[in-house]
Amino acid sequence: MVEFVDDDYLKSLYSNGVHVVGNALSLRSKNYGELIDSNLTIRFNWPILDASTGYRMDAIFTSNTKKIPKNYAFDLLFTRHYKDPHNNKKQYTVEGAFITKLKTGYNLDKKPSNGLLCLYLLDVLGIENVGIFGFDWKETPSTTKNNNFMKTATAKNDPWHNYYKEKEVALDMIKKNCWKLYK
């Protein structure tokens, strides 16, 4: 049976902090794996797990649960707009009204990425100890589950997200909350 969790559950879960780990190729040239693995992690879509990016994966934030590889071991699934009754993980759904509030509050002209939605959720929940890795707002490509690189989405031509604006919004949240961005 699927268990749907609420804000109070997330506040309790992340009360000691969380590492949010994006899929930017630039992360692969760092050696943050041990540091990333030292706290709970939230990852996105199809993360690459290795020595440079860490092996820990406590939660996945995605808009397409059907493409999550079956061998991924994680405990919590964040989804956009819908609940997945076929996935037996604990689930938290980011509702449309929440996304609309983010878009209007920060004048986003395109839909927010999962990364920005995650940071906004942690901001709204008041989570204090957040380490952010692998976010470069498409200055480098994103990696995919096959260890390939996404070639279609760059900051300049992404049809879905405005990464220039998202970077501005995320940096404001990071500064406001005294979060740590690892470059």
SS3 for 61? strand
pLDDT at 76: 95
Tokens 């190729």 locate to 25
Closest by Cα among 159, 128, 106, 123 to 18: 128
Separation between Cα atoms, residue 175 and residue 64, nearest integer Å: 30
CB 18 within 8 A of CB 133: no
pLDDT at 2: 78
Average pLDDT, the chain: 90
Note the pLDDT tens digit of each residue in 45-60: 888 899 999 999 999 9
pLDDT at 75: 95
Domain ranges of the chain: 7-181
Q: Quick one: CATH architecture of 7-181?
A: Alpha-Beta Complex (3.90)
User: Is residue 152 scored above 50 in pLDDT?
Assistant: no
Which of 22-26, 40-44, 160-164 tops mean pLDDT?
40-44
Burial of 39 by CB count in 10 Å (0-12 exposed, 13-18 middle, 19+ buried)? Answer: middle
Note the pLDDT tens digit of each residue in 2-23: 799 999 999 999 999 999 999 9
**Intra-chain end-to-end CA distance of the chain, in Å:** 40
Positive or negative torsion for Cα 54, 60, 62, 64 = positive
Tokens 């949240």 locate to 173
Closest by Cα among 121, 27, 24 to 79: 121
